[in-house]
Amino acid sequence: MTALLLMLAAAAPLAGAGEPSDCRLLDKRGKAAEARACFENLVRSRRAFHRAEGLFGLRQYAAAHEQFKAAIKEEPKSAEVRTRWGRLLADPFNGNKADAADLYQEALEIDPKYAPAMLGLALLASDRFDSMAVATAKKALEADPKLYEAQELLASLALEDSDFKKAAEEADKAIRMSPDALDALAIQATIAELADRPSKEWFDRIFAVNPRYGRAHAIVAHHLVLNRRYEEGIAHYRKAIALDPGDLDAHAQLGINLMRQGKEAEARQELEFAFHNGVRADSTKNTLRLMDSYKNYKTFQTDKTVLKLDRKEADLLRIYFEDELRQCIAAFEKKYRLKLSVPVQLEVYPNHDDFAVRTMGMPGLGILGVTFGTVVAMDSPSGRKPGAFHWASTLWHELSHVFVLVATRHRVPRWFTEGVAVHEETATHKDWGDRLSPDMIAAVKEKKLLKVTELDRGFIRPTYPNQVVVSYFQGGRIIDFIVEKWGWEKVLQMMHAYGARKPTEEVFRDVLGLPAAEFDTQFQAWLDRSLKPVVDNFDTWRKKIRDLAAAFKAKDYAKVLAEGDAVIALYPDYIEAANAYEMVAEAALASGDKKRAIAVLARYAGAGGRDPEVLARLAGFQEEAGDKDGALSTYQKLLWVYPVNGEKIHRRMGELALATGRHQLALREFHALAADKPTDKADALYNLARAYWATRNRDKAEEYVLESLETAPGYRPAQKLLLEIHAQGAQNPIRK
The tens digit of pLDDT for each residue in 464-497 reads 989 999 999 999 999 999 999 999 999 999 999 9
Contacts of 452 (CB under 8 A, 6+ apart): 415, 478, 504, 508, 516, 519, 520, 523
Q: Tell me which amino acid residue 371 is.
A: T
Q: Which residues contact 639 (CB under 8 A, 6 or more apart)?
A: 320, 646, 649, 653
> What pLDDT does residue 264 have?
93
Fold designation for 680-736:
1.25.40
The confidence band for 17, taking pLDDT boundaries of 50, 70 and 90, is low
pLDDT at residue 4 tops 50: no
From edge to edge, which strands make up the β-sheet containing 297-301? 297-301, 305-310, 344-349, 375-379, 369-372
Helix (H) or strand (E) segment spanning residue 308: strand 305-310
Per-residue pLDDT, 16: 45
pLDDT digits (tens, 9 = 90+) for 597-623: 999 999 999 999 999 999 999 999 999
- Report strand pairing: 375-379 vs 344-349: parallel
- Distance, in Å, from the CA atom of 551 to the CA atom of 371, rounded to the nearest integer, reads 46
Say yes or no to pLDDT of 699 above 80.
yes
Query: Does 734 have pLDDT greater than 90?
Result: no
Residue 263 is given by DSSP the state -
Residues 114 and 79: beta-carbon distance below 8 Å: yes
Label residue 92 by pLDDT band (50, 70, 90): confident
Per the prediction, the chain carries an average pLDDT of: 94
From the CB of residue 521, how many other CB atoms can be counted at a distance below 10 Å? 12
- Domain ranges for the chain: 295-529, 680-736
Do the bridges between strand 369-372 and strand 375-379 make them parallel or antiparallel, or are there none, so unpaired?
A: antiparallel
Per residue in 492-532, pLDDT (tens digit) is 999 999 999 999 999 999 999 999 999 999 999 999 999 99
Query: What is the predicted pLDDT for the residue at 15?
Result: 43
How far is it, in rounded angstroms, from Cα 476 to Cα 423?
A: 5
CB-based contacts of 563-568 (< 8 A; 24+ apart in sequence):
564/600, 565/600, 567/541, 568/600, 568/603
Q: Where are the alpha helices (DSSP H) in 262-383?
A: 264-276, 282-293, 314-335, 352-359
pLDDT at residue number 403: 98
HSE (side-chain half, CA atoms, 13 Å) at 40: 16
| Segment 539-559 mean pLDDT | 98
Architecture of the structural domain at 295-529: Orthogonal Bundle (1.10)
Q: What is the pLDDT of residue 14?
A: 47
Express as a percent the part of the chain with pLDDT over 90. Answer: 89
CA atoms of 602 and 625, how far apart (whole Å): 13
10 Å Cβ neighbour count for 201?
Answer: 13
Query: Are 495 and 407 in contact, with CB atoms under 8 Å apart?
Result: yes
Residues 637-648 have a mean pLDDT of 96
Is the predicted pLDDT of residue 10 greater than 50, yes or no? no
Which of 118, 267, 149, 287 lies closest to 219, judged by CA?
Answer: 149
Measured CA angle at 387 (ends 641, 470), to 5 deg: 95
- Which pLDDT score is estimated for 730? 54
For residues 6 and 296, which has the higher predicted lDDT (pLDDT)? 296
What is the rounded distance in angstroms from the CA atom of residue 136 to the CA atom of residue 139? 5
Span 339-391, pLDDT tens digits: 999 999 999 999 988 888 887 766 554 578 999 999 999 999 999 999 999 99
Distance CA 691, CA 693 (A): 5
Judged against a pLDDT cut of 60, whether residue 260 lies above it is answered with yes
**SS3 at position 376:** strand
Q: Return the DSSP state at 13.
A: P
Query: Could you tell me which residue, 489 or 128, shows the higher pLDDT?
Result: 489
Reported as type and span, the H/E element at residue 656 is: helix 647-659
> What does DSSP assign to residue 35?
H
Q: What does the alpha-carbon distance between residue 33 and residue 39 come to, in Å, rounded to a whole number?
A: 10
Average pLDDT rounded to a whole number, residues 550-577 = 98
Cα(first)–Cα(last) distance of the chain, in Å? 72
Does residue 316 have a pLDDT over 90? yes
- CA-atom Rg of the chain in angstroms: 31
Mean pLDDT, to the nearest integer, of 176-187?
98
pLDDT over threshold 90, residue 46: yes
**Amino acid letter, residue 681:** K
